[in-house]
Structure 1
Amino acid sequence: MTRPHLLYIAFSFPPSTASSVYRCTAVANAFIAAGWEVTVVTLSEEIWAEISGTDFGLVDSIDPRVRVVHVDDGGAEEPNRRDLRRYSRLRIEAPYLWKELFRRRHRADFPEDFHELWFAPASQAARAIHAERPADLVMASASPYISFKVAAQFGDVPYILDYRDAWAFNTFTGAENYAPDSKHGRLENDYLNKALQVWFVNEPIRTEYASRYPDAANVMRVVPNGFDPQPGHRKSAAHATNAPRFGYLGTLQYTAVPLDEFLGGWDLAFGGHDAPPARAVFRGKLSPSGLVPADVLDIFNSGVHHGLSYEGPISKRDVSNFYGTMDALLLLLPPGKYVTGGKTAEYLATGLPIISIHDPDSAATQLLRDYPLWFPATELTVKSIAQALLDCAKALAEPDVRRWDAAWTYGQQFARSNILNPAIAQLQALTGSGGSVPDSAPAERNDS
């Protein structure tokens, strides 16, 4: 029997270091494991190298049977390019004006800043792939949302829309970007109503979308983020320490997370002469592009905040080694009830204590509330954050082995395969495609 063919439109894919690449890679690998052919249309790796950095270690995590087709950006990433030789006089002398003119010009045909330009190269590549080996299913990961337009162009080929965020509203503030009955809203509604399924990363976003577009609510489902076991993934032994090492790994988004509140809480907990000699090590990027002002770097490495350090990005393939050197993990997330955080499931899978520094009503709380080693700041105040840090330090000084064991067991349920296998099995039933879900696929679960 010929294997069914998934055509996957994923703007971000290894070696990109965008946080979305982990979900996209896992989806492609899971379809391969379920007996599909997979072809990915993604952005050229040379462009990622210029705009936000690359991690070629991530390429090793792609199943070698996945076919990856890299295409040009069509000019979509021009505002993020840093090669001054490309800049016009207007861009050099009036960069904000140049960017606004660029944005307006390229929203004319599709309601998204800049990325409409990716449609031509991505569409051309997708059509060529479909002509060579017809797709049984198309899937589009967003953002950018131009991926939806690429996926919807094949007429009778069913497609899946995977929302890693929200197009209709700001997931941090909840503010509406456009009304359902606007021109933009009607376009989104059309995509949703023609989709075979629409995936969301958590229940709060799905609920909001179902409210906005009730006619499409029946095809909406939650497919949460999970963790992808990396080399060295193993249970950490519970050992007593009076000099705890707290770790943060990920893209910090320093302008959005409660960084000032955390710094105040850290200083209150560990800045005094009689405080425990704690350390906090930050790894990853401090912004999506990796560019930050010098004063932000000084926050970590100037010595003003005792014990804090920033030690740069880390390859995805080395994350288990990093976690193995930490005693507890810091979960700093942007505000908003719609925010789960890409790292939350991975943190849970370590079995280490987690200090939550985010809104108590965040979607991440739904994943964490039953975790045996969860130390939440009950409020985003300096005092509350300090108390959470000290409570964790106390638990580390006298660890309860049974509690550590329970945390490890709890965290392993968030393996990405536990989440994706049932979702893919359902798609195979809906499309009548062949394939074969691995025998170990567990029953469907809802992490939302």
Structure 2
Amino acid sequence: MTRPHLLYIAFAFPPSTASSVYRCTAVANAFAQDGWDVTVVTVDPKVWSQISGVDEKLAESVHPAIRIVPVNDGGAEEPAKGDLRRYSRFRIEAPYLWKDALRRRSRRDFPEDFHGAWLKPASEAARSIHAEKPVDMVMASASPYVAFGVARALEGVPYVMDYRDAWAFNTISGAEDFTPDSAVGKREAEYLRDAAQVWFVNSQIRDEYARRYPGSAHLMRVVANGFDPQPGHARPAVRSTERPTFGYLGTLQYVNMPLQEFLDGWGSAFGPDSPQAEVHFRGKLSASGAASAEVLQIFGGNGVAGLRYDGPISKREVADFYGSVDALILLLSNGKYVTGGKTAEYLATGLPIVSVHDMENAATDLLRDYPLWFPAKELTPEGIANALRDCAAALQDPDPERWEAAWIYGQQFLRSTILEPVIAELRDIAGQDAIRRPAAEERTQA
């Protein structure tokens, strides 16, 4: 059997530390491990060193056979860059007008603020790659949604749309960003109709998209987030502890996340002067790494007993962190469409998990049968404190059978297990003559 060639479109890819890179890395690796030739079109990594930072150890986890083609961002990330030496006079003297002009210019080719500017350079790169080595399948991971436009740059080549979020609505608030009969909605409908498959991270988002675009519902798949075993991934030891250490790992979304409610519940559970427990936070204090004064005050060692913050951590070192704590705190943004990128990874540790999030979140579907789940049934100080106390009590007198069941339950979320069947479907599609696809002649360039 010949090796099919996958062109993978991912705006962020290692060494970027953007939240999307873990899924993107795992998907690209899975195709390479399945015997595909994989070429990744992504943003030049120098962009990330100027914005949110890089993780060179994460880059080491990319399959060695994958070819990475870095592309200029086209100005898409210009508003986030803070090098004053590069600012134009227009930007310095009229920053709001400058930003509005950049927004309008970026939307000329694709209806997405700023990131629309990536369509032209990324599409040119895709066509060049295809001319050099014909592409059998394109996969585009979004957001930004301009990746979907790039996926259509190769006429007649089947493509897959991987929604890590939702283009049409806000997954946290549920607010609609555009209707199916709007100009952008009609464009999205066309993209969906012409796709070989459409992936979503949970059934809640998939079902809403099926309702909005029923003609494409048969193309939609739930390809959930999973965990990628890191060095040191192992079953936790079952040990009794009177003074447990809780851990949180991830990027804090302070505006949408019940962090203050958790801190109030923590104080209620363990008291300001009690040495009964500690909680260690690792990760960035915001998506960009630039934290607000309010967050800095919380994590600056002022007034929260037992709280410790030790900064970001490389993806390749997360197993060591999990091995250093007794239980995990799952803080998630509110919203029924939210699963959380860390949920499957938390489950795979086999550790007790205290959930501090809306029970209507999509994450609850993954957690409800986990043997060591301690949910805060109400996001009140007392509701959170009760969950913390219940977890602490279980840690004082651990049941080995319960711990064993938790470990077994968590291993089902191995990402390779989730990806294998859908990649097998795509191998069949890639083997077909793309010209037979009925919509191939009807596609319009983005």
Asked if TM exceeds 0.5, the reply is: yes
| Distance (whole Å) between structure 1 residues aligned to residue 339 and residue 48 of structure 2 | 25
Q: Is the Cα–Cα contact under 8 Å of residues 281 and 310 in structure 2 kept in the other structure?
A: yes
| Distance (whole Å) between structure 2 residues aligned to residue 137 and residue 272 of structure 1 | 57
Q: Is the Cα–Cα contact under 8 Å of residues 301 and 308 in structure 1 kept in the other structure?
A: no
Q: Is the Cα–Cα contact under 8 Å of residues 43 and 73 in structure 2 kept in the other structure?
A: yes
| Distance (whole Å) between structure 1 residues aligned to residue 86 and residue 158 of structure 2 | 40
The residue matched to 1:61 in structure 2 has which SS? Answer: coil
1:59 maps to 59
| Distance (whole Å) between structure 1 residues aligned to residue 153 and residue 63 of structure 2 | 27
Structure 2 vs 1, CA of residues 142 and 58 (structure 1 numbering), >3 Å: closer, same or farther? same
| Distance (whole Å) between structure 1 residues aligned to residue 341 and residue 404 of structure 2 | 24
Matched, 1:131 2:149: no
| Distance (whole Å) between structure 2 residues aligned to residue 376 and residue 97 of structure 1 | 47
1:415 maps to 414
2:340 maps to 341
Matches within 5 A, 1:89-104: 89-104=89-104
Letter of the aligned partner of 1:35 in structure 2? Answer: G
Q: Is the Cα–Cα contact under 8 Å of residues 43 and 71 in structure 1 kept in the other structure?
A: yes
Matches within 5 A, 1:156-195: 156-195=156-195
Q: Is the Cα–Cα contact under 8 Å of residues 357 and 376 in structure 2 kept in the other structure?
A: yes
Deviation at 1:155, TM superposition (A): 1.9
2:357 maps to 358
2:391 maps to 392
The residue matched to 2:299 in structure 1 has which SS? Answer: helix
Range with bigger deviation, 109-118 or 196-205: 109-118
Deviation at 1:17, TM superposition (A): 0.3
Deviation at 1:102, TM superposition (A): 2.3
1:217 maps to 217
Q: Is the Cα–Cα contact under 8 Å of residues 160 and 197 in structure 1 kept in the other structure?
A: yes
Q: Is the Cα–Cα contact under 8 Å of residues 198 and 219 in structure 2 kept in the other structure?
A: yes
Deviation at 1:284, TM superposition (A): 0.7
2:289 maps to 290
Deviation at 1:52, TM superposition (A): 0.6
* Deviation by residue 1:336-394 (Cα, 9 ceiling, x = unmatched): 00000000000000000001111101000000000000000111111101111111111
2:116 maps to 116
Range with bigger deviation, 251-260 or 334-343: 251-260
Q: Is the Cα–Cα contact under 8 Å of residues 242 and 276 in structure 1 kept in the other structure?
A: no
| Distance (whole Å) between structure 2 residues aligned to residue 167 and residue 396 of structure 1 | 42
Q: Extract structure 1 runs of 4+ deviating beyond 6 A.
A: none
Deviation at 1:92, TM superposition (A): 3.1
Deviation at 1:107, TM superposition (A): 2.1
| Distance (whole Å) between structure 1 residues aligned to residue 232 and residue 432 of structure 2 | 36
1:305 maps to 304
* Deviation by residue 1:256-299 (Cα, 9 ceiling, x = unmatched): 101111111111111244x4521111111111111112331220
| Distance (whole Å) between structure 2 residues aligned to residue 136 and residue 268 of structure 1 | 58
Identity %: 65
1:322 maps to 321
* Deviation by residue 1:309-329 (Cα, 9 ceiling, x = unmatched): 211100010000000001000
Matches within 5 A, 1:372-391: 372-391=371-390
The residue matched to 1:38 in structure 2 has which SS? Answer: strand
Q: Is the Cα–Cα contact under 8 Å of residues 75 and 117 in structure 1 kept in the other structure?
A: yes
Deviation at 1:432, TM superposition (A): 2.6
Q: Is the Cα–Cα contact under 8 Å of residues 110 and 149 in structure 2 kept in the other structure?
A: no
Q: Is the Cα–Cα contact under 8 Å of residues 8 and 38 in structure 1 kept in the other structure?
A: yes
| Distance (whole Å) between structure 2 residues aligned to residue 169 and residue 380 of structure 1 | 25
Q: Is the Cα–Cα contact under 8 Å of residues 4 and 430 in structure 2 kept in the other structure?
A: no
Deviation at 1:95, TM superposition (A): 3.4
| Distance (whole Å) between structure 2 residues aligned to residue 401 and residue 9 of structure 1 | 45
| Distance (whole Å) between structure 1 residues aligned to residue 251 and residue 432 of structure 2 | 38
1:148 maps to 148
Range with bigger deviation, 377-386 or 84-93: 84-93
1:441 maps to none
1:444 maps to none
| Distance (whole Å) between structure 2 residues aligned to residue 431 and residue 125 of structure 1 | 21
Matched, 1:68 2:68: yes
| Distance (whole Å) between structure 2 residues aligned to residue 104 and residue 323 of structure 1 | 45
Q: Give structure 1 stretches of 5+ with no counterpart.
A: 435-448
The residue matched to 2:129 in structure 1 has which SS? Answer: helix
The residue matched to 1:7 in structure 2 has which SS? Answer: strand
The residue matched to 2:40 in structure 1 has which SS? Answer: strand
Q: Is the Cα–Cα contact under 8 Å of residues 4 and 433 in structure 1 kept in the other structure?
A: no
- Give the number of equivalent residue pairs: 433
Range with bigger deviation, 380-389 or 314-323: 380-389
Q: Is the Cα–Cα contact under 8 Å of residues 355 and 374 in structure 1 kept in the other structure?
A: yes
Letter of the aligned partner of 1:431 in structure 2? Answer: A
Deviation at 1:214, TM superposition (A): 0.6
Matched, 1:81 2:81: yes
Q: Is the Cα–Cα contact under 8 Å of residues 178 and 185 in structure 1 kept in the other structure?
A: yes
Deviation at 1:121, TM superposition (A): 1.4
Deviation at 1:4, TM superposition (A): 0.5
* Deviation by residue 1:204-227 (Cα, 9 ceiling, x = unmatched): 000000000111111001000000
Q: Is the Cα–Cα contact under 8 Å of residues 284 and 314 in structure 1 kept in the other structure?
A: yes
Q: Is the Cα–Cα contact under 8 Å of residues 250 and 283 in structure 2 kept in the other structure?
A: yes
Query: Over aligned residue pairs, what C-alpha RMSD do you find?
Result: 1.4
Q: Is the Cα–Cα contact under 8 Å of residues 348 and 411 in structure 1 kept in the other structure?
A: yes
1:17 maps to 17
The residue matched to 1:251 in structure 2 has which SS? Answer: coil
| Distance (whole Å) between structure 2 residues aligned to residue 305 and residue 297 of structure 1 | 13
| Distance (whole Å) between structure 2 residues aligned to residue 398 and residue 406 of structure 1 | 16
The residue matched to 1:53 in structure 2 has which SS? Answer: coil
| Distance (whole Å) between structure 2 residues aligned to residue 298 and residue 343 of structure 1 | 25
Letter of the aligned partner of 1:11 in structure 2? Answer: F
Please report the TM-score for the alignment, with normalisation by the length of structure 2: 0.95
| Distance (whole Å) between structure 2 residues aligned to residue 294 and residue 91 of structure 1 | 26
1:437 maps to none
1:41 maps to 41
| Distance (whole Å) between structure 2 residues aligned to residue 93 and residue 238 of structure 1 | 62
| Distance (whole Å) between structure 2 residues aligned to residue 133 and residue 102 of structure 1 | 35
